[in-house]
A and B are shown apart, each in its own frame.
Chain A
Amino acid sequence: MFRWFLPTLFAVIVGLLVLLGSLLPIPTLASLRADLLSGAAVIASFAMVLAFANVLRVHFGRLVAKQAKSVHATGQRFASLILLLSAIASFVLVLLQGPEGIASQTIVEGVLIPGQSALLALTAVTLVLTGARILRTRWRASSVLFLVVALLVLWTTVGIGTPSGIGMPSGIGTPALVYPGILETVMRFVNAVATGGMRGLLLGVALGTVITGLRIIVGIDRPHSGG
């Protein structure tokens, strides 16, 4: 009953009501849809709290678990301790002050933004290494095309090779500068193909989303019940 029947029943009913409320211009359905969606938002918040509690439980367990006395284990426990302390501290501070509080702003501007930006900056090195290895691991025409297009886009992103002489020191010439329209035409074609390819992908994804959503609403797929 609780494992799949009731959850599926909820999924089907809620899904149908939300779907009909979106498509049919009936005010009652629309307001019901709005209420159901706000309820979903509340439940999603509980899910966020549950995830937070799980993180605390896991790292607290690592902290108190009996581990071998080694440098690595000690470092790992210290990292768990730092995570616990920072999580609890930010939770308390933000809960009390809100996002506009000084402490919240300090957390955002002093910890979250620099830290996550630095992690993103690291990916620049990783992406370059990946691009350099892509041909070694997958020697195909599509890989060569992938890399060549990436080079062209990088070259023209900030106008390095455009006819207006962007970024090129004097004395260094490129074929594009000799005939300015070539590079522009090439990039236009590349952009067109890229746009078309991306549209095809997005349309495919959207079609898949529709089919999957309908299967869930009808009750064929039951991801909530593990089936």
Chain B
Amino acid sequence: MDIVGLIVGAILTLLIFSFLLGDNALYRWALALIVGAAVGYAAAMAVRFVAQGWVARASVNDQGTTTSLTTMAPLLLGCLLLFKGFTSSRLLGRLSIVGNIPLGYLVGAGAAVSVTGALMGTIFPLALTTGNGVRIERGLLGLLQGVVILLTTIVTLLAFSTHARKRAEADVRQKASDRAGWRRALRQAGEAFVAVALGTAFAGAISSALTALVMRLWQLAALLDSVMNLTRR
């Protein structure tokens, strides 16, 4: 199985790398294979999740039934969601709007989770961490670093909050003040800080991609080495 997996992986790798020579059919076929496998895998896992969850809920239900409200309601809503796939059908197309109900359910739940998570998991911790960074106990260098982080955080936040404001409603006075020196300096400083942050992210993305490239070439080399060893024998 390992060797089979290696061979299949190597073939797929070469087909994908053929894109460097130009877009071709082999690359597209390999892509179709990968996409199909991923989609099928995900759908199967989703079905297993629903089925196993239904069984598990039934098992913990006091009545031992599988038709309690907490069990059936999500299934019914999920079935309503399936009507969203019939938008092109004449007969069932009109029923597609009933799929908006489970969508509303999903959106509402997701919004609430996001709100609480952003509040409690991002805004408060990051604000606290930024403030705690400015401490003398961290030494001069640490203090300086903390001040730099604090200033850059504030400047970046202010720069993009002013930039994101709706310009359509800005009056003449506001536009004049926007062109004021300090606002412009603030915006430019914010852009510079974001450029630094994104530069590091760009380098990180290249690093990850290079890691994947190295690993893929490593596998190819390892396979080739194995084949050569086999042929030598």
Contacts and interface: CB of A to CB of B under 8 A. Distances in A.
Given A82-B32, A111-B8, A112-B37, A197 B197 contact: yes
Interface string A141-185: 111011111111110010000000000000000000000000000
A146 B112 contact: no
Which secondary structure dominates where chain A touches chain B? helix
Interface of B: 1, 4-5, 8-10, 12-13, 16-17, 19-20, 25, 28-50, 53, 70, 73-75, 77-79, 81-82, 84-85, 97-98, 100-116, 118-119, 122-123, 126-127, 130, 141, 145, 148-157, 159-161, 190-210, 212-213, 215-217, 219
Given A53-B85, A196-B156, A149 B195 contact: yes
A193 B40 contact: no
A13 B108 contact: yes
Contacts of A19: 112, 115-116
Interface in A210-226: 210, 212-214, 216-217, 222-225
A135 interface: no
B142 to A, nearest CB: 10
Contacts of A30: none
A197 B50 contact: no
A217 B115 contact: yes
Contact of B123 (A57, A83, A210): A210
A44 B38 CA distance: 17
A189 B149 contact: no
A115 B16 CA distance: 7
A46 B81 contact: yes
Contact of B195 (A11, A85, A143): A143
Contacts of B97: 2-3
Contacts of B130: 196, 199
Nearest to A94: B44
A79 B44 contact: no
A3 B35 CA distance: 33
B21 to A, nearest CB: 12
Interface of A: 2-4, 6-19, 22-23, 35-55, 57, 75-76, 78-80, 82-95, 98-99, 102, 104, 106-125, 127-128, 131, 141-143, 145-154, 157, 188-207, 209-210, 212-214, 216-217, 222-225
Contacts of A207: 118, 123
Given A8-B104, A35-B70, A91-B40, 9 more contacts: A10-B101, A87-B36, A110-B5, A110-B9, A120-B212, A142-B191, A188-B145, A194-B197, A195-B197
25 contacts: A13-B108, A19-B112, A35-B70, A44-B106, A46-B77, A51-B43, A78-B29, A84-B36, A86-B36, A87-B40, A89-B37, A91-B41, A95-B47, A109-B5, A114-B216, A124-B206, A146-B199, A150-B206, A157-B203, A194-B199, A196-B193, A201-B194, A202-B122, A202-B126, A212-B114
